Structure formats: C-alpha cells, structure tokens
C-alpha cells in the first residue's frame, strides 16, 4: 500500500512547491481536497485523518489548529510554519545536523521544518558550536538576504503588482531585532545569547544568502578562516544536500539567487587571519522550506532521501 500524503495549504507558495515535487511520484498517493473546500474545517479534518503523512503549509495559527484536528494516532505531520520549531516534543527537521537529528526525524510522528533564515544561520553555527570552534556565548551577528517569495502570497502580490520605489531596493526588516526565527536559532544551536539578526528582502523571487561574521580571536580554537572552513567541510563531507565551497568561494561576489530552483545549500567561507564570514546560499523555497520538507518526508517514509529533488 502506498502511503497517503495530504498537503494542507496546497494553494500557497510553500504548498505548491511541495506539490510540484510530489505530483509525479508513483511511490505515494496524494490526497487532493476539492478547491472549494480547501478551507472547510470539516473537510480538512477528514483529509488530515485519512493521510499517513500531512504537510502543513499554513500560517502559524492555522497550523496549530490543524494539529488539534488530527485524531488518527498513525497520522504523521511535517509543519512548515513557525508554530512548533522550539517544541521539545517535535523533531527538528534538519537531518544534516547530527545522526541523532536524522534518527529522530525518521521515527517521529511530529516534525517541524526549519525556518528559511534559520536554516542559513544554523547550517553554519551548529557545526562550529558542536565542534567547539565557536563558544556558546559568542556575540553573533547575522544578516540574511531573501527573495520576496519568502513572504508568501501576500508579499508576492505586493512585489508583482504596482509598486512604489522602496520595493525596487533591498529593505531591511525585523527592526525590533525580535524576528520570529530567533528562538529556533538560539535553542537549536544551544547559544546562551540570541544573535543580532537583520533580515533583508529584495526585488527578486527566490534565493537566500545568510551570513555570519566572526572575529577569529574570539573563537575557542582554530582561530582562522581556514580552520573554520576545514571544520565545516569535514562536518558536511558526506551530505547530499549541503556542500562547502573551496575556501574564499568560487566567485568574486556572492549572488543571493545562486541556488534558486535547487534543494541544496552551499556554505562559502571567506576571510583572513583576523576575520571570517560564513555565507549560506540556498533557495528559501528549496532547502529553506519545500525542498527540506520533502527531504524530511522521504526520511520519515523510508524512501531514499534524495528522491524527487533538485540536487
């Protein structure tokens, strides 16, 4: 019997991208709700309980409500929203972080998909912290560029409709320094202080560049860009979805849309004897959302991790 899969919120930006990755798959049965009933709670409840695995591609409150509708103990959930990313009883859907993360995803009934900015931040900070290069109390700063599809249908409409001058230029947001991804960044990396985080949205559809900046003399060990690069290259050497570029990168500038349309993430380490930057390049809708969600589904259902993905 093929596992039955339902995407709640399939008509949204993340949901459609998951659908695109699954539509042609013969190893699952996709359950499709009637278009005119896609927000009908009773109909959604039926689908949520009929499925072996559901993706929640909904705003946070609707995701919480959807979880409360699930009564079938066999139904497994991957939540793409922020609602459960710091919940201790949910597995954190970032399998490359450790064997334990991967094992918990494989067996868990509840998996929370990482936030897009958080994915970029954690991909560099977690290994450096786990390998003892970065002290847990390091005063981290991070800036993160994203395309406008990161803001979902509403922001896409803003950028693709008649727009004013400001939307033609990069915009720094999250100015209260309390962006919703900060709790998962801090908790999942075990940091004792939250980073100073500045997200930036710009006038292109998708793609991200998330950068942390380090003073080498404040690192616990390996006080050079080369040592940071070696640590990351070694940590991710066997991963299909995360690659580490040669030290210094391969281009004189880093374009945030380099990996648009792909489900992989590339880390670029730059710097010198005194300072280091690490930049994660990826697609907010690939490794930053839908691609990661499908990767998690494959692990949960026992399929090859790379099935149906744009490596």
Ligand X SMILES: CC(=O)N[C@@H](CCC(=O)OP(=O)(O)O)C(=O)O
* Residues at the interface with ligand X (CB under 6 A): 81-82, 115-116, 146, 150-151, 155, 180-181, 199, 201
From the list 11-19, 132-140, 224-232, 261-269, the region that binds ligand NDP by CB under 6 A is 11-19
Q: Does position 202 bind ligand NDP by CB under 6 A?
A: no
Binding partner of residue 13 among ligand X, ligand NDP, none, CB under 5 to 8 Å per kind?
Answer: ligand NDP
Question: Which of 30, 62, 233, 247 lies at the binding interface for ligand NDP (CB under 6 A)?
Answer: 62
Q: Under a CB-based contact definition with an 8 Å cutoff, are residues 197 and 186 in contact?
A: no
Q: Does position 194 bind ligand NDP by CB under 6 A?
A: no
Q: How far is the CB of 150 from ligand X (least distance, A)?
A: 3
Minimum CB distance to ligand X smaller for 138 or for 282: 282
Binding partner of residue 119 among ligand NDP, ligand X, none, CB under 5 to 8 Å per kind?
Answer: none
Binding partner of residue 199 among ligand X, ligand NDP, none, CB under 5 to 8 Å per kind?
Answer: ligand X
Q: Under a CB-based contact definition with an 8 Å cutoff, are residues 286 and 123 in contact?
A: no
**What distance in Å separates the CA atoms of residue 132 and residue 221, rounded to the nearest whole number?**
7
Question: Which of 11, 43, 202, 203 lies at the binding interface for ligand NDP (CB under 6 A)?
Answer: 11
Catalytic residue selected from 116, 142, 189, 270: 116
Is-catalytic flag, 57? no
Place of tokens 């939250």: 194
**What distance in Å separates the CA atoms of residue 302 and residue 39, rounded to the nearest whole number?**
30
Q: Does position 288 bind ligand NDP by CB under 6 A?
A: yes
Binding partner of residue 305 among ligand NDP, ligand X, none, CB under 5 to 8 Å per kind?
Answer: none
**What distance in Å separates the CA atoms of residue 245 and residue 233, rounded to the nearest whole number?**
8
For residues 102-141, which are near ligand NDP according to CB under 6 A? 115-116
Q: Does position 9 bind ligand NDP by CB under 6 A?
A: yes
Closest CA to 82 of 64, 65, 101, 103: 64
Question: Which of 53, 55, 81, 140 lies at the binding interface for ligand NDP (CB under 6 A)?
Answer: 81
Question: Which of 150, 195, 271, 291 lies at the binding interface for ligand NDP (CB under 6 A)?
Answer: 150
Distances (CA, A) of 171 to 166, 254, 277, 288: 7, 18, 22, 20
- Helix intervals (H) in 147-235: 152-160, 182-189, 225-235
Sign of CA dihedral 161, 165, 168, 173: negative
**What distance in Å separates the CA atoms of residue 141 and residue 125, rounded to the nearest whole number?**
11
Q: How far is the CB of 72 from ligand X (least distance, A)?
A: 25
Q: Under a CB-based contact definition with an 8 Å cutoff, are residues 243 and 264 in contact?
A: yes
Residues identified as active-site: 116
């Amino acid at each position: 019997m093929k596992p039955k899969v339902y995407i709640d919120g399939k008509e949204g930006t993340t949901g459609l991208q998951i659908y695109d990755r699954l539509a042609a798959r013969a190893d699952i049965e996709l359950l499709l709700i009637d278009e005119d009933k896609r927000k009908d709670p009773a109909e959604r409840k039926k689908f949520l309980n009929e499925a072996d695995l559901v993706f929640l591609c909904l705003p946070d409150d609707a995701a919480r409500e959807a979880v409360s509708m699930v009564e079938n103990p066999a139904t497994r959930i991957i939540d793409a929203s922020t609602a459960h990313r710091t919940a201790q009883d949910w597995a954190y859907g970032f399998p490359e972080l450790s064997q334990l993360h991967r094992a918990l995803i494989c067996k868990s009934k509840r998996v929370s998909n990482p936030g897009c900015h958080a994915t970029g931040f954690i991909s560099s900070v977690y290994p450096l912290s786990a390998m003892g290069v970065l002290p847990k109390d390091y005063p981290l700063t991070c800036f993160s560029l994203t395309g406008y599809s990161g803001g979902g249908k509403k922001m896409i409409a803003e950028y693709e409709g008649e727009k004013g001058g400001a939307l033609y230029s990069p915009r720094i947001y999250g100015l209260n320094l309390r962006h919703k991804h900060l709790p998962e960044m801090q908790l999942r990396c075990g940091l004792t202080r939250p980073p100073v985080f500045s997200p930036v949205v710009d006038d292109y559809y998708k793609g991200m560049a998330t950068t942390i900046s380090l003073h080498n003399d404040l690192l616990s060990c390996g006080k050079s860009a080369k040592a940071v690069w070696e640590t990351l290259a070694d940590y991710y050497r066997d991963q299909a979805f995360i690659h580490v570029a040669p030290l210094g990168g391969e281009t004189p500038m880093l374009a945030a849309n380099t990996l648009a349309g792909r489900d992989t993430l590339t880390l670029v380490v730059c710097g010198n004897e005194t300072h280091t930057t690490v930049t994660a390049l990826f697609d907010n809708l690939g490794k930053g959302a839908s691609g990661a969600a499908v990767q998690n589904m494959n692990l949960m259902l026992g399929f090859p991790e790379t099935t149906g993905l744009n490596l």
